[in-house]
Amino acid sequence: MRKLHERLQELRPAHLKVVVGFDGFVDEIVEAVDRRHSFASYTRMSNMTQFGERISKAAGLSTNIELVPKTMKLGGNGPIMANALVKLGTSVSYMGALGRPNVHPVFNELVEGCTEVYSLAEPGHTDAVEFDDGKVMLGKMEGLNDIRWAALKEVVGTDKLQAAFSDCDLAATLNWVMTPHLNEIWTGLLELLSPREDGTKPFLFVDLCDPGKRQPEDILEAMDMIGEFSKFYRVILGLNRKEASEIANVRRLRLSKPAEEAELEEIVRALGEDLGFWCLMVHPVSEAGAYVDGEYFHVQGPFTSKPRLTTGAGDNFNAGFCLGLMLELEVDECLALGKAVSGFYVRQMRSPAWQELLDFVALWADKGGEEF
pLDDT tens digit sequence for 297-325: 999 999 898 899 888 999 999 999 999 99
Encode pLDDT of 99-111 as tens digits: 999 999 999 999 9
pLDDT at 303: 85
Q: Is residue 372 part of a domain?
A: no
Q: Is residue 279 part of a domain?
A: yes
Q: Is residue 37 part of a domain?
A: yes
Strand 134-140 with 124-131, pairing: antiparallel
Going 183 to 188 to 193 to 194, the CA torsion angle's sign is positive
Host H or E run for residue 80: helix 77-87
DSSP of 172-230: EEE-TTT-TTHHHHHHHHHHH----TT----EEEEE---GGGS-HHHHHHHHHHHHHGG
Burial status of residue 192 (CB atoms within 10 A of its CB: 0-12, 13-18, 19 or more): middle
Q: Is residue 200 part of a domain?
A: yes
Global pTM reads 0.91
pLDDT at 55: 96
CATH number at 251 reads 3.40.1190.20
Q: Is residue 120 part of a domain?
A: yes
Q: Is residue 128 part of a domain?
A: yes
Q: Is residue 251 part of a domain?
A: yes
Q: Give the Cα separation of 244 and 367 in Å (integer).
A: 30
Domain count, the chain: 1
Q: Is residue 225 part of a domain?
A: yes
Q: What string of pLDDT tens digits covers the 372 residues of the chain? A: 889 999 999 999 999 999 999 999 999 999 999 999 999 999 999 999 999 999 999 999 999 999 999 999 999 999 999 999 999 999 999 999 999 999 999 999 999 999 999 999 999 999 999 998 888 989 898 999 999 999 999 999 999 999 999 999 999 999 999 999 999 999 999 999 999 999 999 999 999 998 988 999 999 999 999 999 999 999 999 999 999 999 999 999 999 999 999 999 999 999 999 999 999 999 999 999 999 999 999 999 998 988 998 889 999 999 999 999 999 999 999 999 999 999 999 999 999 999 999 999 999 999 887 888
From residue 345, how far is each of 16, 230, 304, 356 by CA, in Å? 22, 31, 11, 11
Domain span holding position 74: 2-367
